[in-house]
Structure 1
Amino acid sequence: MEKHILIIEDDQEISELFQMIFEAVGYHTTVLNIAPNPEFIDKGGFHLIVMDIRLIGSRYNGNELCRLFKSSYPNNKTPVLLMSAESNGDILAQECGADGFMGKPFDVDNLLTRAFEMMA
């Protein structure tokens, strides 16, 4: 079964880069430039969520959406990888229950390795 990754990133160029990276190695992607409601994530059948912390123009930041998703749907074990250039991004990721954190800028090979491990 093809793995399906949800990418939530407000920067159009970065979201397109994520999409190219993941699709080049055979993953199916859905890209959103604003934060969806947690129910969308729960019902989406995703294998991984890659989400920026700072989502300008959204009603939630990535860490807020992660916290809402994890608390509202505790039986959904879809891993969440938060990404950010924020200096405290790792702390925000830990506090909201994210399954992982990567800083920006990121190394493509490290991103793919991390995604593969989180979906295993």
Structure 2
Amino acid sequence: MTLSAPKRILVIDDDEDVMEILRIALMDEGFDVIFTNKAGAIAAIEKLCPDLVLLDVQRSELPLMGTEMCSKLKKRHVHNHMPLILVSSGTNLGTLAKDCDANLFISKPFDIFQLLVHVKRFLD
């Protein structure tokens, strides 16, 4: 029996508390979790080839809004299949997610158990 590698999730957020909660919850579920809040987030996606991205809409340290990054990624053929979930405390998330072709949006504050259900659904 061969063991498969854990699914890789890239979290792009600038809220340290949110990142810590996600780190604990996702790693406890056996996912390989990588975090970034740097300007090289698109390059990180290119290099790491995550199975799923959790993307904050508004990040103070990045030049692109999450929706702009989402649109750029979804327009690239190699990434248009990759599930991308917008996570934000902002308003109009449904419209923003639809406009940038995100697979789902989750409002902050979020229920971590519900977020895990969605993540697992996309990765099964």
TM-score (structure 2 length as normaliser): 0.88
Aligned residue for 2:119? Answer: 115
Alignment of 1:16-55 (within 5 A): 16-55=20-59
Q: Which amino acid aligns with 2:78?
A: N
Shift of 1:42: 2.9
Query: How much is the aligned-residue C-alpha RMSD, in angstroms?
Result: 1.3
Contact 1:35–1:61 (Cα < 8 Å) also in 2: no
Q: Decide which structure has the larger Cα Rg and report it.
A: 2
Shift of 1:75: 2.8
Q: Can you list the C-alpha shifts for 1:34-72, whole angstroms capped at 9, x where unaligned?
A: 34343431331211100110111210111111111111x
Equivalent position SS for 2:120: helix
Aligned residue for 2:68? Answer: 64
Contact 2:12–2:41 (Cα < 8 Å) also in 1: no
Structure 1 residues 9, 91: CA separation in 2 closer, same or farther (over 3 Å shift)?
A: same
Identity %: 28
Give the one of 99, 105, 108 matched to 2:109. Answer: 105
Instruction: Name the count of aligned residue pairs.
Output: 119
Equivalent position SS for 1:54: coil
Give the one of 89, 94, 98 matched to 1:94. Answer: 98
Q: Output the CA distance in 1 between the equivalents of 2:35 and 2:42.
A: 15
Greater displacement, 44-53 / 27-36: 27-36
Question: Structure 1 residue 78 and structure 2 residue 101: aligned?
Answer: no
Q: Which runs of 5+ in 1 are unaligned?
A: none
Q: Output the CA distance in 1 between the equivalents of 2:41 and 2:116.
A: 26
Q: Which amino acid aligns with 2:12?
A: I
- 4+ residue runs of structure 1 moved beyond 2 angstroms? 34-40
TM-score (structure 1 length as normaliser): 0.91
